[in-house]
Structure 1
Amino acid sequence: MSEEHHDHLSLFESKRALLTGLAYRILGSLAEAEDAVQDTFVKWSQADRRAINNPAAWLTSACTRRCIDLLRAARQVRVDYIGTWLPEPIQCVTENTPERALDLSSSLSMAFLLLLERLAPKERAAYLLHEIFEQPYAQVAAVLGMQETACRKLVSRARINVGRTDARNVVTAQRQETLLAAFQSAIATGATGNLAALMAQDIQLKADGGGKAATLLDPLYGKARVLEFIAGKLSGFWKTYEWRSADINGSRGALLLDGGRISAALSFGFDAHGDLSGIFIMRNPDKLARLSEPEIFLQ
């Protein structure tokens, strides 16, 4: 391997976590994100790097544009999806600086990724680049191939469309553990009193089976309906499962195993008061496959 080839390979690998993190937030799918990053690597390998003044910006631009193309192609698939579509859950670690790690983790939550689904592909990319990855408008505009004024309007419109900010709320680790214990107890006993005390009145429960695993086809809204489902249905289905605590999409959740195989992944969202506002259940085996692998590093 030539020194030049080694250098360009090393530079790309130093940006892989950033590119994968960006691609996952745009696409909501780790599998698709890794495809986008691999496509970016191929393009990088074939590029005339002597003409590239800012390799990091070039890589971000190439990856973002590939993600926008993939997201446009995926939109119809998600419209035709059987039941409720949820992002692919992931186990990951982020930067070890506490403040930045918290900020990055909160932007990985299921609730936040679902809000991003409201945005058009270019809107979503612009919003993430500026609001999450803290890139200046001029740089975002260059990535998207548009005027800076138009880019500012795009991000402003995205903020309005996303609307709620509590999708990125993070509660203490102790609160997360208390919630998880209350949920597990409700499943084991069918008694939901402790769990109910931690819930918001307008809680929602969404489950994704992808037409490949039995689950709810439509979301449930409201505390009474969610508690009724947990006590009356979910408790019976999950009582015999093995529970394994896991960090899923930036907060504490659980993997549920049946005969040693991951059968479901459970994650949560919280409102501004720290109450449970969202329950997200993944049952689609295609989206559970990667959860048995080691954590990945994302930025």
Structure 2
Amino acid sequence: MDYSHLYDMYKPLLFTVAYRMLGSIKDAEDIVHDVFIQLEKVDLSTINDPKAYLTKMTTNKSLNYLQSSMKKREVYPGQWLPEPIVNPDANAPLECLLKEESISYAFVVLLHQLTELERCIYILREVLAFDYKFISSIINRSEQSCRKVYSRAQQKIQKSKPSDQTSKEEAHELAELFLSAVKSGNFDAFIHYLSKDVVLVSDGGGKVLSAMYPIISKKRVVAYLKGIHRRGTFQGQLSLVKVHQKVGILQQNQGEPKKLITFNYSKAGVQHIYVVMNPNKLKNIGHTFSF
């Protein structure tokens, strides 16, 4: 076992843990980079379980980062959405976790509606299948406390868990309908697929004009989409891209990403529309991850 072997084996895992905790590609990259820098100072022969050891380091660094940035999140202007992982080629295969997350963007959004502690324990328990003894050692809480926090997080997840009922082909067709709508200005065909209680959330980060609060109900979402279309906010190049596991729409002006739109579907139709416009969350689109 050497450092390069550990790096190649665990980099994808550590990145996805940090990303799900932080919702930021750059911050997750930095966390993983710091972990392996710190690992160079460790005698590898003393590590019995590399996966557990590296996961613990990544989790602790992520929690420390969240605590240090908590005030920034509290004063964030408008709605906050995680940074999406986007592949500009909508037909590209899922190659690895470093390029595309293995869970939907809607589920990443849901994870970030949990508290930092709930999210941490849920990821360690549900995603990585660590036992409560190990989780307890990471966050310095009793196993009983960890069980309670996990149960609370699980209840929240189950209550709001995205239930995507569409096939890949259906999702692609609906995205194409939205593309046609914004190009023509006629949203009638797309409106037919909106659920009655659809919710639109937009994140401009205070850098781009966006809705300060979620827009709820079919009527209000339609009015909002038509309104911003009349103001010309969809002008530019529009294309289908892959956002995590699903198809999304990327708007660019002169090659610069301006807007990323993703959808979450239920049996009733389109349940959520997420619009990421914060330039800081779009700058990694099409870039190769590097450490």
How far does residue 163 in structure 1 lie from its aligned partner after superposition?
4.4
Q: Is the 8 A contact 1:256 1:264 kept in 2?
A: yes
Cα deviation 1:190-220 (Å, max 9, x = unaligned)? 2222111211111111111111122222221
- State the partner residue of 2:107: 112
User: Which residue of the other structure, out of 257, 261, 264, is the alignment partner of 1:266?
Assistant: 261
SS at match of 1:278: strand
Q: Which residue matches 2:40?
A: 45
User: Using the alignment, how far apart are the partners of 1:72 and 1:113 within structure 2?
Assistant: 19
Listed as ranges, the gaps of 5+ residues in structure 1 are: 97-101
CA distance in structure 2 between the aligned counterparts of 1:151 and 1:85, rounded to whole angstroms = 27
- Alpha-carbon separation, structure 1, partners of 2:234 and 2:110: 31
Superposition misfits of 4+ residues, deviation over 6 angstroms = none
1:284 aligns with 2:284: no
2:190 is aligned, of 195, 207, 214, to 195
The answer to whether residue 237 in structure 2 is matched with residue 242 in structure 1 is yes
The alpha carbon displacement at 1:236 in A equals 4.2
Q: CA RMSD in A?
A: 2.3
* Matches of 1:196 and 1:75, distance apart in 2: 38
Aligned residue pair count: 282
TM-score (norm 1): 0.86
Asked if the contact 1:208/1:215 (under 8 Å) is kept, the reply is yes
Listed as ranges, the matches of 1:175-254 within 5 Å are 175-234=170-229, 236-254=231-249
1:2-24 superposed Cα distances (whole Å, 9 cap, x missing partner): xx7xx222212210011001111
CA distance in 1, matches of 2:261, 2:286: 14
Alpha-carbon contact 2:238-2:250 (below 8 Å) kept = yes
Please state how far the C-alpha of 1:180 moved relative to its aligned partner. Answer: 0.6
How many percent identity over aligned positions?
28
How far off is 1:232 after superposition? 2.5
Report the TM-score when normalising by structure 2.
0.88
Aligned partners of 1:203 and 1:278 also within 8 Å: yes
Cα contact 1:20–1:33 (8 A) shared by 2: yes
Partners of 1:153 and 1:232 lie apart in 2 by 45
Cα distance, 1:30 vs structure 2: 0.9
1:247 is paired with a residue whose SS is strand
Aligned to 2:90: none
- Find the residue that maps to 2:129 and give its secondary structure: coil
Bigger mean CA offset, 142-151 vs 274-283: 142-151
* Counterpart among 76, 89, 93 of residue 71 in structure 2: 76
Q: Report 1:58-69 matches (<5 A).
A: 58-69=53-64
Gaps spanning 5+ residues in structure 2: where?
88-92
Structure 1 position 85, deviation (Å): 1.0
Q: Deviations over 1:55-110 (max 9, x none)?
A: 111000100111111112222211101121111111267568xxxxx9x633x42x
